[in-house]
Amino acid sequence: MRFLILGAGGIGCYYGARLQQAGHQVVYVARGEHLRAMQQQGLKVEHESFRFEAPVTAVDEAALLADYSVTDFDLLLVCFKSQDTAAWLDRCRDWLLAGATPLLSLQNGVDNEPELEAVVGTSRTLGGIALRIGGHIEAPGVITASGPAQIIFGAWPDQTSGQVPTDQLQAFDQAFQQAGIPSRISDRIAVELWRKLMLNNAVNPLSALTRLDTQTLSTHPLFGASVYQLMQETAAIAAAEGLPIGQQDVEEMYQLICNFDGIKTSMLVDLEKGRPLELDGISGTLLKRGKRLAINTPMTALVYGLLSQQQECH
Ligand SMILES: NC(=O)C1=CN([C@@H]2O[C@H](COP(=O)(O)OP(=O)(O)OC[C@H]3O[C@@H](n4cnc5c(N)ncnc54)[C@H](OP(=O)(O)O)[C@@H]3O)[C@@H](O)[C@H]2O)C=CC1
Ligand SMILES: CC(C)(CO)C(=O)C(=O)O
């Protein structure tokens, strides 16, 4: 199959390398030093059960638009940080609309799929999550990753109202699995995305504030209760929006994050590198929704406020 990795950073390069090693054609879209390193020295990925070091086809956005057509690909994997999605869609709208290739977002947050859908339509939109993975750019052209690195994906917003054909979903699922990516098709991907948001809202901002890994934070005598409360606040918003999410999901996600290996969150990595934080796509979206629905989310407001203020001071 032919895959395009849009925003080939930690997550995108890990999954791209897995697919390329399995024999698929992969084009990586990146920029800056990381792009130059990939073009000149190739891509290196280090993971406890997977090693990749090989030349890759890496291009910037301008070269993608000039040298490729969307019809050159079977699947576009959207791996930007969520704050980059809307502007990218705006710039690449005409290129995207010249074909019918589906797009699968592996980003955190619940706003990416609606943004994709608004441009390419429901028939080309897949929702997805990258679960139990920590993957980061260690140095230009070098990725370190850990965890089983699953992909859960499905027709957006769910199998019943989504329009991507089942045989197409199954072909992607098979390609992922053959490439050593544990994957699963969900018939309610919007629910999975909200369950993942429970994790991200609970640990990403708090890990950036405390510099603690996910497990230390979640089992911490002082911060553990806040992690739990952040999950409850996310669940309350999800339920008010009509999603079948409740206390049982809070328990499950809390147990998952407590028992999963301690990993450095993507937000802590961004903070350490002085890069923009994915704060609006995670906590910010909950605050906006909470305001609209008249639901109080005081802990989410606190971590959002503290981090925003830290960013402004830099
Ligand atoms: N990292 C992780 O462990 C996990 C991340 N996720 C989610 O996956 C998504 C991706 O995260 P992650 O892999 O960490 O992100 P990264 O920041 O590592 O990768 C995204 C890359 O896209 C590049 N990029 C952005 N816009 C463009 C553009 N127009 N043209 C070319 N390149 C571009 C960025 O460059 P630049 O640096 O210059 O901005 C960056 O290198 C996020 O939503 C994240 O929350 C989910 C699970 C785990
Ligand atoms: C949940 C977690 C921490 C790891 O999958 C993540 O999604 C991230 O680092 O952004």
In Å, what is the CA distance from 180 to each residue of 16, 87, 130, 149, 170? Answer: 12, 32, 14, 9, 15
Q: Which two tokens stand for residue 206?
A: 């708090």
Query: Residue 311 has what pLDDT?
Result: 83
Q: Which of 77, 266, 268 to mutate to test the pocket of ligand 1 (most atoms within 8 A of CB)?
A: 266
Does one domain contain both 40 and 174? Answer: yes
| Nearest one of 140, 137, 84, 88 to 107, comparing CA atoms | 84
Ligand 2: atom nearest CA of 278 is: 10
Cis omega (within 30 of 0) on the bond before 157?
A: yes
C-alpha–C-alpha distance, residues 61 and 205, integer Å: 30
Please report which confidence band the pLDDT of residue 245 belongs to, taking 50, 70 and 90 as the band edges: very high
What residues have CB less than 8 Å from 280, skipping those under 6 apart? 82, 83
- Based on the number of CB atoms within 10 Å of its own CB, is 221 exposed (0-12), middle (13-18) or buried (19 or more)? exposed
Query: Residue 40 has what pLDDT?
Result: 98
Q: Which two tokens stand for residue 276?
A: 């923009």
- Based on the number of CB atoms within 10 Å of its own CB, is 263 exposed (0-12), middle (13-18) or buried (19 or more)? buried
Does one domain contain both 214 and 236? Answer: yes
Does one domain contain both 201 and 169? Answer: no
Ligand 2: atom nearest CA of 147 is: 5
Torsional class of 23: left (φ above 0), alpha (ψ -120 to 50), beta (otherwise): left
Can you state the angle between helices 85-96 and 112-120, rounded to 10 degrees?
20
Query: Residue 261 has what pLDDT?
Result: 86
CA of 246 to the centre of ligand 1 (A): 30
Does one domain contain both 297 and 215? Answer: yes
Of the residues 187, 202, 233, the one at which a domain ends: 187
Query: Residue 163 has what pLDDT?
Result: 86
CA of 231 to the centre of ligand 2 (A): 14
Question: How many residues in the chain?
Answer: 314
Residue closest by Cα to atom 7 of ligand 2: 200
Does one domain contain both 154 and 51? Answer: yes
CATH number at residue 263: 1.10.1040.10
Does one domain contain both 60 and 116? Answer: yes
Q: Which two tokens stand for residue 88?
A: 């990218």
Q: Which residues on neighbouring strands pair with residue 53, listed in sequence order? A: 44
Q: Which residues on neighbouring strands pair with residue 127, listed in sequence order? A: 154
Q: Which two tokens stand for residue 132?
A: 């139990």
Does one domain contain both 18 and 86? Answer: yes
C-alpha–C-alpha distance, residues 147 and 150, integer Å: 9
Could you report the per-residue pLDDT of 6-59, keeping only the tens digit for each?
A: 999 999 999 999 999 999 999 999 999 999 999 999 999 999 999 999 999 999
Does one domain contain both 136 and 171? Answer: yes
Ligand 2 pocket, residue 199 CB under 6 Å: yes
CA of 135 to the centre of ligand 1 (A): 10
Does one domain contain both 183 and 195? Answer: no
The overall average pLDDT reported for the chain is 97
CATH number at residue 109: 3.40.50.720
Ligand 1: atom nearest CA of 84 is: 26
Per the model's pLDDT, the better-predicted residue between 246 and 260 turns out to be 246
Query: Which three-class secondary structure string do you get for 212-262?
Result: CCHHHHHCCCCCHHHHHHHHHHHHHHHHHCCCCCCHHHHHHHHHHHHHCCC
Of the residues 152, 187, 222, the one at which a domain ends: 187
Q: Which two tokens stand for residue 277?
A: 């934080």
CA of 86 to the centre of ligand 1 (A): 14
Could you report the per-residue pLDDT of 58-103, keeping only the tens digit for each?
A: 999 999 999 999 999 999 999 999 999 999 999 999 999 999 999 9
Of the residues 187, 217, 236, the one at which a domain ends: 187
Q: Which two tokens stand for residue 25?
A: 């054609």
Q: Which residues on neighbouring strands pair with residue 107, listed in sequence order? A: none
Ligand 1: atom nearest CA of 129 is: 46
Decide: 215 and 204 in contact? Cβ < 8 Å: no
Ligand 1 pocket, residue 130 CB under 6 Å: yes
Total structural domains within the chain: 2
Does one domain contain both 8 and 88? Answer: yes
Residue 246 φ then ψ, to 5°: -150, -160
Ligand 2 pocket, residue 300 CB under 6 Å: no
The parent domain of residue 84 ranges over 2-187
C-alpha–C-alpha distance, residues 113 and 127, integer Å: 6
- The percentage of residues in the chain with a pLDDT greater than 70, rounded to a whole number, is 100
Does one domain contain both 235 and 306? Answer: yes
Could you report the per-residue pLDDT of 257-296, keeping only the tens digit for each?
A: 999 889 999 999 999 999 999 999 999 999 999 999 999 9
Cis omega (within 30 of 0) on the bond before 114?
A: no
Q: Which residues on neighbouring strands pair with residue 245, listed in sequence order? A: none
Decide: 138 and 115 in contact? Cβ < 8 Å: no
| Nearest one of 299, 276, 295 to 230, comparing CA atoms | 299
* Owner of token pair 């309350």: 236
Does one domain contain both 82 and 142? Answer: yes
